[in-house]
Amino acid sequence: MSALRVPLPSAVPELWPALPLAEWEPTRATLHMWTQMVGKVRTELTPPVNHFWHSALYVTSRGLTSSAIPYHGGSFEMEFDFTEHKLRFRSSRGERRAMRLYARSVADFYREFMSTLRALGVNVNIRTMPQEVPDPVPFERDEEHASYEPDQAHCFWQVLLACWPVLHEFRGRFIGKCSPVHFFWGSFDLAVTRFSGRRAPERPGADFLTREAYSHECASVGWWPGGGPVKDAAFYAYAAPEPDGFKTAVNSPGFYSSDLNEYLLMYEDVRNAADPRGMLLDFCQKTYEAAAGLGKWDRAALERSGI
């Protein structure tokens, strides 16, 4: 019997592709709203997990998924497919639906999104005001964000695919409490967070989201497409609460941003490095060691020996 041969794609995607924020910002802004809809449904129907881990999305071999969401004795899943450019819906009852991803307004997308959920037998109400964005407009009234360039969305997913295994490798070095490598639709970033095991001081005046997210001492690292004072995609790292001396504890790679109170390593520097994986791991490790060392974490009990 001959071996099964799987044809290779005609063009192999670049492992660390360019993704200039200025070029794909309209698509990013629209896609941000679309992912928020999926994330809000997941948040509404999934049992709560500490630090809002039940809300996040996950990188897949096709795009981003909600993972299985429990519903009336079964489950359903929503997945952004950035190869065929569809939002796919699948239920444990074997039902399937799909929405095409193309340039159209957030309001139009929202109407079809809710209609598709109802056709799947899922009845859910979500808060339609977007989160963690300036000047938010409810989904049903947002006619401004209406861009979708398939090549740019595909490239965005390829960037996530490049970062994802490196962050997983870094996560594997830690045996204490640690988040999954997950995508937060509110801040639109891929992140992994380690915890010292101790509660953090209360933040005066903090809202519910901030209180829950930073209830325990943590050190976080991730990738973000950029925005505000950061004009392009970057990896970031921070400690919460930030220990004394953290701002000057890491010389390279990257730099400390006093605007964000975080270390940044520009994505362009990583993708153009001789060893992108090595540079990113070095950034993750050095910023963590600064946070854990200065914060007096019990590193012997939290870190995997021999790594």
What is the domain partition of the chain in residue ranges? 21-141, 150-302
Q: Is 216 helix (H, G, I), strand (E, B) or coil?
A: strand
Walk along the chain (307 residues) and give the pLDDT tens digit of each residue. Answer: 344 444 444 444 568 999 999 999 999 999 999 999 999 999 999 999 999 999 999 999 999 999 999 999 999 999 999 999 999 999 999 999 999 999 999 999 999 999 999 999 999 999 999 999 999 999 999 999 999 999 999 999 999 999 999 999 999 999 999 999 999 999 999 999 999 999 999 888 888 888 888 899 999 999 999 999 999 999 999 999 999 999 999 999 999 999 999 999 999 999 999 999 999 999 999 999 999 999 999 999 999 986 6
- Residue 14, pLDDT score: 67
Task: Please list, residue by residue across 18-39, b when 16 or more beta carbons sit within 10 angstroms of its beta carbon and e when fewer do.
Answer: ebbbeebebbbbbbbbbbbbbb
Task: Please list, residue by residue across 93-111, b when 16 or more beta carbons sit within 10 angstroms of its beta carbon and e when fewer do.
Answer: eeeebebebeebbbbebbe
- Residue 307, pLDDT score: 60
- Residue 9, pLDDT score: 43
Whole-structure pTM value: 0.93
| Cβ-proximal residues to 74 (8 Å cutoff; 6+ apart), any chain | 91, 92, 93
Q: Is the peptide bond before 48 cis (omega within 30 degrees of 0)?
A: no
How many other CB atoms are there within 10 angstroms of residue 149's CB atom?
A: 17
Q: Can you read off the two tokens belonging to residue 238?
A: 């921070």
The whole-angstrom separation of Cα 118 and Cα 124 is 8
